[in-house]
Amino acid sequence: MSDLFNVTSSPHVRGRDDTQRIMLYVIISLLPATVFGIFNFGIKALILVLVTVASAVASEWIYCKIVKKKSTIGDLSAVVTGLLLALNLPSSLPWWVAVIGSAFAIIIVKELYGGLGQNFMNPALGARCFLLISFAGLMTDFSDYPGFADTFGGATPLATIKNGGSVDTMRMILGNIPGTIGETSMIALIIGAIFLILMGVIDLRIPGTYIVTFAVFALIFGGHGFDVQYLISEIAGGGLILGAFFMATDYVTSPITPMGKIVFGICLGILTGIFRIFGAGAEGVSYAIIFSNLLVPLIEKATIPRAFGVKREKTKKGGDGE
C-alpha cells in the first residue's frame, strides 16, 4: 500500500464542531421554548416531551440493532428529532400517538433513507404531517390550555384572525395562547435562535428571507392593508418562528449554496402565505417546509456558484453546422 496521502487543495478548514456538538447546541437553544411550554401547559406537556424524546432514541437504537448497524444515538440527532416533534404537538395528545410519530420520524423518514445526512425531508416535520393526516382531531385539540373555550372561543389565535376576529398580539408574543407545546412563545424561540446564531450553527439567510417574504406576501394578499398588528400576529403565531429558525435551517434538508438559501427562504415565505391566506387551514408552516425540502435538489442545481475564472458556455444558435 502506498505511503502517500491524498490531500485536497488549500485552504484547509478545521473546526471543533462535530455532529454531537451541533446537536447539543440545538438542544440547548430549544430549552427556553420547552421550559415555557411546560409552564404554559403543565405536567402533561412535560410527560409528552419525555415520552417523545425517549421513543425517538429507542426507535433509533432498536432499528440499528435489527439491521446490525452501529448505534448512532450518541450523536444526539434522535434527541433533537424527538424534541422538535414534541414541540410541534399539542399537550393533550395521547402518549401512544407521540410514540407512533417518533417511530415514523426515525425509522421511515430518517433511517430507511440511510440515516443522518440522507433523509430528504425534516424527520420531525415529516412525522408531524403524518400525524396531522392520521390523527387530525387529536393533533388540533388545544383544549388543555386553561380557559381555552372562554378566552378564545374554541379557536387558535390564527384561526380567529382568519375568521375575521381580533386577538391580543402581546399575548401571542409572550406565549400565553393555545397551540403546540413549543410554538407559542415568540420571545423564548427568539432567545434560542440568537444562541444558535452566536454559536455559528445557523445564519440569517433562510429564516430572515423566509420571514420577510411571508410578511410582504401577507401585506399584499392578507386583506388587512398595512396593519402592523395583523402582521405581528401572523408572524408570532402558527409555529412560524419555530419553523423558520429551527427546522427550515436543518443542514440536511436545506440548500448549502448561499443563493440557494435565499431562494429556499423565498419559497418558504410564499408557500406559507398561500397555505395560510388562501388555504382551508390557518397555519401551513409544516407543509411549506416539507414541500420546499423536495425542491432543494433543484434549487442547489440552479444556484451552484461558478469556479473562479470559469465562463458560462454560450449556446450556439442554429444547428451544429453553423
pLDDT digits (tens, 9 = 90+) for 189-229: 999 999 999 999 999 999 999 999 999 999 999 888 888 99
Give the least confident one: 226-235, 245-254, 301-310: 301-310
Grid cell, residue 242, equals: 419555530
Grid look-up 378564545 returns: 152
**Please, are residues 234 and 161 in contact by the beta-carbon 8 Å criterion?**
yes
Mean model confidence pLDDT for the chain: 87
Grid cell, residue 36, equals: 415555557
Reduced DSSP (H G I as helix, E B as strand, rest coil) percent helix, strand, coil of the chain, to 5: 60, 0, 40
In this structure, the number of other CB atoms found within 10 A of the CB of residue 258 comes to 11
- Mean pLDDT for 129-143 is 91
User: Torsion angle, CA of 121/126/127/132, rounded to 10 degrees?
Assistant: 180
Domain extent listing, the chain: 19-145+153-303
- Mean pLDDT for 271-275 is 95
Q: Examine the pLDDT at 4 and tell me if it is beyond 70.
A: no
CATH class held by domain 19-145+153-303:
mainly alpha
Closest CA to 240 of 217, 274, 269: 269
For the stretch 8-32, pLDDT in tens is 444 444 455 678 999 999 999 999 9
pLDDT at residue number 178: 86
Q: What angle do CA 88, 90, 95 make, to 5 degrees?
A: 100
pLDDT at residue number 3: 53
Would you give the distance in Å from CA 293 to the centre of its chain? 10
For the stretch 75-116, pLDDT in tens is 999 999 999 999 999 999 999 999 999 999 999 999 988 887
